[in-house]
Amino acid sequence: ESDEKDDDDATTSVTSRAVPNVPDRPDEIIPAGRQLVQPTKAKLTGPKVIRVDKPEPLPPPRSDRRRGPSIGMGSPRAGQGVGGGGPEMPPDGRGGGRGAGRGGARGGGPGSSARRNTRRSASAGNTDAVRSRSQNTEDRGANWRKQDLVEREQRLTRSGGMFKNWRRDNIRRASTMGRGGTVARPEGPIKISAPLSIKELSAATGVKAIDIVKRLFLDQKAMLNVNSTINGTMATEVMVAFDIELDVNEELSAQDQIVEQFKDRTMSDERSRSPVVTILGHVDHGKTSLLDRIRKANVASGEAGGITQATSAFQVPVHAGDADKMITFIDTPGHEAFTEMRARGAKVTDLVVLVVAADDGVMPQTIESINHAKAAGVPIIVALNKIDKPEATDSNIQRILGELAQHELNPTEWGGTTEIVRTSALKDIGIQDLLDVIDFQAQLLDGTADFDGPAEGTVLEARLEEGRGAVAQVIVQQGRLKKGDYLAIGRAFGRVRDIVDDRGRRIDEAGPSSAVALSGINEVPDPGDKFFVVKNLREAESAATERRAAERERTLARDRVTLDNIFEKLAESGRKELPLIVTADVNGSVETLMATLTKISTDDVTIIVKHAAVGGISDSDILLAEATGAIIIGFNVTIAAKSRKLAEAKGIDVRLYDVIYDITDDVTRAAEGLLDPEHRLEVLGHAEVRDVFRISKVGMVAGCYVTDGVIQRNAQIRVTRDGIVIEKDRRLEQLKRFKDDAKEVRNGQECGMKIDGYDDIRTGDILECYRTQEVRRSLRG
């Protein structure tokens, strides 16, 4: 060993001497850089244990009195109990006593519930039960009774819990909605009650409310929200886009129910009533003075400047014919109130007396009054007033008659149908003749009314009066209006507090054709609103509330009539007319526009100028446009700010021009939109049937050869046999080239064709392929 040690030292010495500058190897190698140090394990410290209390013993499970002795049906973990209950657990674990089976039998005796004890400490019985379970696997469930299975299903049902309900709701929601949010088509029609809100329709059908709103806007141009109410027709039409059929039960609103009750009323005391006559005419032509002469009471002197300041209605006893009769007259400050009633669909008057001054002739407001009377569709009697003036010469009278004839009021003395009565309110000339003509026209109309039962009528005007509140001046049309009656009057309601007649007397009741002022309503109604006497205040309030809600919805979703959509509106009503109201700066421009617009009319569409006048656009033009559905055209005129706001509120389209050709171009385009499109037939090609095949589940398929042109899929087919057309307007359902589907087959090629809904094809038939195109017609030829 010493020799080996000496050899090693010698070798090391030689090596050190052979390789210079080599450092000696250190005894411990320490790595450079950051080192990973194993963290020290944490030691848990807690409170010092003083004593350990024995846990309270658990009470045995209570028995289920509803259940008799049953066979233990433990889960696989708890052991398959098949034995009956007993005071102690058998050693094989096949049953348990009352609540026994600690990990052994899950079931037990009457109402046993060993499920709570399955996690307790094991015992010898537990081991035996597990061993017994493994040995009796093959006989599991062999001795179960039907009652056991029923009870087990009941326990599972009771233990479903929140998760089961959540899963059930998800399944139900998935059955309502298809993939991608599309609605699955129901098996049968969905029953709804209309009117209803869009939110209610969404809940009934499962369609998203926002989708219904979008579809209503796209299809019916209705701007609504989810809380808007729609009728049954709108609901049915919008659900067609979602392939949903509705069974609509139309429920009448409270207002409609009241209207239906009065429409089907039984006349208990039907008699002839007094005629209602409206006085119209130009300002200061003597309308009020004429009525003053009729009732022999000087009311004109109490008015500013002798011009009527407010609408007034009154009854006048007159001696007409062979007896004294009552006539109800309505005096207006021009024609605004009459147009307002016409715009709301109210027809109050039976006759119109048009007052024309013999020294002045037909004036702008006279023409407007004629147009208003025509819009109302009532007979017109012309009272040629101020006949005693020196200017009322025969030549002037003939000129006035000619001007009336230009507006389709042909005098009877010229062979027409319009009665012209020459009167003078100042000299009492022709007054009795006027009353006789009114009585004669009233007899032709033969107006009757019910003088008993609840009253109904129309509002002429309404205002607020100090000490009385809202006061409405009304015309009673049916029944008797009594003090204390409950009223539904437009958007207002209330109980009649007092009734005042046209002479300022307080009365207790008013019959048909009576003009009275009543108070006791909660707010001011609109002129033209209908009023009805109902049974109680609740019914009246319900009708008024629905009316206010309906007006609000109409205001938010007003469907305006413009030159762009006028043809859609008129097409719905079946008319081919374009109503216009024309105003211009001078009379020459009016005449030029009238002549130019009239030339646009054809046999298919007619341009009807409801009113033409010189001057700016006024409130009267707006009201007339609302009543007639016309478009207002202004040439080199302006519209006042007040009138513009009125037009915007009522949705009237007002167009201003300074170039007459722009007017003709716009009106021509609007008139062309009224024309039905022309259908032109374009023949694409012909094919000869060479063979016929019958394919199961498809039908007859024709093997054809294209003789000329091209055959296109989904085009229309006309079948010709021996030169006679036997079928037409059929759709080419399938087109194949060999075994592949083809969009078109050209000349000289063979193909297979299947015609939709038609199988009577024979060899040798000629199939003509064509398309029908709709071409917009032009008025310019």
3-state helix/strand/coil string of 711-726 = EECCCEEEEEECCEEE
pLDDT at position 82 is 41
**The pLDDT of residue 538 is above 70:** yes
| Lowest-confidence segment of 173-182, 511-520, 552-561, 595-604 by average pLDDT | 173-182
26-76 per-position pLDDT tens digit: 777 776 667 677 777 767 676 676 666 777 777 777 765 555 444 444 444
> Are 281 and 374 in contact, with CB atoms under 8 Å apart?
no
Mean pLDDT value across residues 496-518: 90
CA 412 to chain centre: 50
> Are 339 and 309 in contact, with CB atoms under 8 Å apart?
no
Domains of the chain in sequence order: 65-127 (no CATH), 185-250 (no CATH), 274-445 (3.40.50.300), 456-555 (2.40.30.10), 566-674 (3.40.50.10050), 678-775 (2.40.30.10)
pLDDT at position 496 is 94
Q: Does the CA dihedral 118-119-122-123 come out positive or negative? A: negative
| Lowest-confidence segment of 164-168, 334-338, 569-573 by average pLDDT | 334-338
**The pLDDT of residue 245 is above 80:** yes
**The pLDDT of residue 433 is above 80:** yes
190-199 per-position pLDDT tens digit: 888 877 889 9
Mean pLDDT value across residues 274-283: 86
Q: What percent of the chain has pLDDT over 70?
A: 71
pLDDT at position 165 is 62
pLDDT at position 120 is 45
**The pLDDT of residue 612 is above 90:** no
For residue 348, give both structure tokens. 């109050």
Using CB atoms within 10 Å of the CB of residue 206, give its burial: 0 to 12 exposed, 13 to 18 middle, 19+ buried: middle
65-110 per-position pLDDT tens digit: 555 444 444 444 444 444 444 444 444 444 444 444 443 434 444 4
Distance CA 687, CA 763 (A): 11
Which pTM value belongs to this model?
0.50
| Alpha-carbon torsion, ordered 573, 578, 579, 581, to 10 deg | 150
> CA angle, 449 as apex, 443 and 455 as ends, to 5°?
150
pLDDT at position 779 is 60
pLDDT tier for residue 521 given thresholds of 50, 70 and 90: very high
Average pLDDT over the chain, rounded to whole? Answer: 76
Mean pLDDT value across residues 130-148: 58
pLDDT tier for residue 486 given thresholds of 50, 70 and 90: very high
Distance CA 527, CA 549 (A): 19
Q: In the chain, what's the furthest Cα-to-Cα distance?
A: 174
pLDDT at position 232 is 83
pLDDT tier for residue 700 given thresholds of 50, 70 and 90: confident
**The pLDDT of residue 712 is above 80:** yes
247-258 per-position pLDDT tens digit: 888 777 777 778
pLDDT at position 555 is 58
pLDDT at position 63 is 65
For residue 504, give both structure tokens. 């300022």
> Are 332 and 280 in contact, with CB atoms under 8 Å apart?
yes
**The pLDDT of residue 19 is above 70:** no
Q: What percent of the chain has pLDDT over 90?
A: 13
Mean pLDDT value across residues 370-381: 85
Greater pLDDT, 554 or 95: 554
For residue 669, give both structure tokens. 């385009």
> CA angle, 345 as apex, 343 and 348 as ends, to 5°?
105
Distance CA 499, CA 511 (A): 12
For residue 90, give both structure tokens. 């058998």
> Are 337 and 460 in contact, with CB atoms under 8 Å apart?
yes
Q: What is the 3-state secondary structure (H, E, C) of 298-350?
A: CCHHHCHHHCCCCCEEEEEEEEECCEEEEEEEEECCCCHHHHHHHHCCCCCCC
* Residue type at position 480: R
Helix (H) or strand (E) holding 710: strand 699-712
349-368 per-position pLDDT tens digit: 889 999 999 888 888 878 88
CA 597 to chain centre: 36
> Are 116 and 96 in contact, with CB atoms under 8 Å apart?
no
pLDDT tier for residue 554 given thresholds of 50, 70 and 90: low
**The pLDDT of residue 116 is above 60:** no
Among 459, 453, 452, smallest CA distance to 518 is for 459
Among 598, 604, 597, smallest CA distance to 663 is for 597
Helix runs in 193-250, H state only: 198-205, 209-220, 232-240
Mean pLDDT value across residues 401-421: 90
Using CB atoms within 10 Å of the CB of residue 599, give its burial: 0 to 12 exposed, 13 to 18 middle, 19+ buried: exposed
pLDDT at position 494 is 93
Mean pLDDT value across residues 271-284: 86
CA 660 to chain centre: 39
